[in-house]
């Protein structure tokens, strides 16, 4: 396909394309757009010519998308969402009446997601949150306004155009099933002997503990590496894995899954924990509202988790 001359592309063609993909019908798309069927068909024909692909063809009374169209719509939707947000007139944000969709990129901290969801449902019953896993494009999508808020550990330099809120550092705690053989003789030898479960939230941002370990004599044996923290408690409960994680991740799951908490037998540096968002949208009333809820609840839950798993409540390493 030849390179497209963007100066000749009418944005309305993409709007029509999105509605056609949603409805699968020229008639339904025309009704939704308030245009004639002829105008919608003409717009589809122009877009076909521009892109060199049939995009949608009529099969059995319904418009069926081509493989290219199915791929294209995944790219078109966030672009149109971003444009709508940028050009929408500024208006007061009323949680009680808003039907806005907020997109939050965050590791799966179940207690936080549940608490935020309950709070939002109470204050804004029509607001919806899309919880996304952090990924390597998170900074770019924040800058473009496609993600409202992100949360990650580690200390990579933030790109220009992002604001941040730094929270208090958490404590590292090592978790294992209650009858794990490491518990009876917990220390550096056990830390080294048994395999560890590790979570890497993105391909480009390593778990914050990794850098510390490269400088520490107590390097772990990584037995498994997973991309999401949602199943950590279940995996630890059914294996010989050890898992060293922030208190907030597992403080409320220990009893349910039969886990115990141990003080890591090696020195681990505190991790920089922060939330960040687009500086361009920092004063957006809706963004300010959702940020205050998420950050306030996170900091409250983190403080509660730290109290639950205070150092004097952890299994300490045996003297060597």
Summarised one tens digit per residue, pLDDT across range 133-187 is 887 678 888 888 889 999 877 666 778 889 999 998 888 999 999 999 999 999 9
Residue 311 lies in a domain: no
pLDDT of residue 153: 72
Local confidence band at 211 (pLDDT 50, 70, 90 cut-offs): very low
Residue 318 lies in a domain: no
Measured between alpha carbons, how far is 34 from 168 in angstroms, rounded to an integer?
Answer: 52
Helix, strand, coil % (nearest 5) of the chain? 45, 20, 35
pLDDT of residue 243: 96
- Backbone φ and ψ for 105, nearest 5 degrees, come out as -100, 115
Produce one character per residue of 177-202: b if its CB has 16 or more CB atoms within 10 Å, e if not: beebebeeebbbebbeebebbbbebb
Alpha helices in 125-208 (DSSP H): 138-143, 188-193
Domain boundary among 28, 61, 87: 87
What total of structural domains would you count in the chain?
3
The average confidence (pLDDT) of the chain is 86
Residue 317 lies in a domain: no
Q: What is the CATH number of the domain that holds 43?
A: 1.10.10.10
Residue 1 lies in a domain: no
Measured between alpha carbons, how far is 130 from 132 in angstroms, rounded to an integer?
Answer: 6
Q: Using the 8-state DSSP alphabet, how is residue 169 labeled?
A: P
Measured between alpha carbons, how far is 10 from 266 in angstroms, rounded to an integer?
Answer: 60
| Residue 204 Cα distances to 90, 137, 209, 232, 243, angstroms | 36, 10, 15, 21, 21
**264, 118: one domain:** no
* Tokens linked to 37: 């069927």
**249, 280: one domain:** no
pLDDT of residue 207: 52
30-88 pLDDT, tens digit per residue, is 999 899 999 989 989 988 888 888 999 888 777 889 999 899 998 888 888 878 777 76
**181, 240: one domain:** yes
**207, 125: one domain:** no
**183, 45: one domain:** no
247-281 pLDDT, tens digit per residue, is 999 999 999 999 999 999 998 888 888 899 999 88
Q: Are 287 and 148 in contact (CB under 8 A)?
A: yes
**155, 183: one domain:** no
Q: What is the CATH number of the domain that holds 216?
A: 3.40.190.10
Mean pLDDT of 119-143: 89
Measured between alpha carbons, how far is 170 from 114 in angstroms, rounded to an integer?
Answer: 20
Residue 32 lies in a domain: yes
**83, 119: one domain:** no
**176, 159: one domain:** no
**150, 233: one domain:** no
pLDDT exceeds 50 at position 216 = no
**195, 146: one domain:** no
Region of 161 on the Ramachandran plot (φ > 0 left; ψ -120 to 50 alpha; else beta): left
Residue 61 lies in a domain: yes
Local confidence band at 204 (pLDDT 50, 70, 90 cut-offs): very low
Residue 314 lies in a domain: no
pTM above the 0.75 mark?
Answer: no
Q: Using the 8-state DSSP alphabet, how is residue 271 labeled?
A: P
**163, 236: one domain:** no
Residue 25 lies in a domain: yes
Domain around 150: 101-167+275-306
């Amino acid at each position: 396909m030849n390179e497209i001359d963007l100066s000749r592309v009418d944005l309305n063609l993409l709007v029509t394309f999105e509605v056609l993909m949603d409805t699968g019908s020229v008639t339904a798309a025309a009704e939704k757009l308030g245009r004639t069927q002829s105008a919608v068909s003409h717009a589809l024909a122009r877009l076909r010519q521009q892109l060199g692909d049939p995009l949608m063809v009529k099969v059995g009374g319904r418009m069926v998308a081509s493989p290219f169209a199915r791929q294209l719509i995944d790219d078109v939707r966030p672009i149109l969402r971003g444009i709508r947000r940028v050009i929408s007139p500024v208006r007061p944000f009323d949680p009680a009446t808003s039907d806005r969709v907020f997109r939050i990129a965050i590791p799966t901290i179940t207690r936080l997601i549940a608490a935020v969801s309950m709070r939002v449902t109470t204050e804004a019953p029509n607001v919806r949150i899309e919880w996304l896993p952090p990924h390597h494009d998170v900074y770019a999508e924040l800058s473009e306004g496609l993600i409202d808020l992100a949360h990650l550990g580690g200390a990579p330099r933030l790109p220009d155009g992002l604001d941040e809120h730094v929270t208090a550092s958490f404590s590292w705690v090592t978790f294992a099933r209650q009858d794990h053989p490491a518990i009876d003789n917990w220390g550096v030898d056990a830390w080294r002997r048994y395999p560890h479960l590790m979570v890497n939230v993105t391909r480009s941002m390593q778990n914050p503990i990794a850098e510390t370990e490269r400088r520490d004599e107590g390097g772990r044996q990584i037995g498994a590496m997973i991309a999401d923290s949602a199943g950590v408690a279940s995996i630890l409960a059914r294996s010989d894995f050890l898992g060293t994680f922030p208190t907030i991740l597992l403080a409320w799951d220990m009893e349910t899954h039969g886990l115990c908490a141990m003080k890591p037998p090696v020195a681990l540096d505190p991790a920089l924990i922060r939330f960040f968002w687009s500086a361009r949208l920092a004063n957006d009333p809706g963004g300010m509202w959702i940020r205050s809820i998420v950050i306030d609840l996170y900091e409250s839950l983190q403080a509660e988790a730290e109290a639950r798993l205070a150092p004097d409540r952890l299994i300490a390493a045996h003297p060597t």
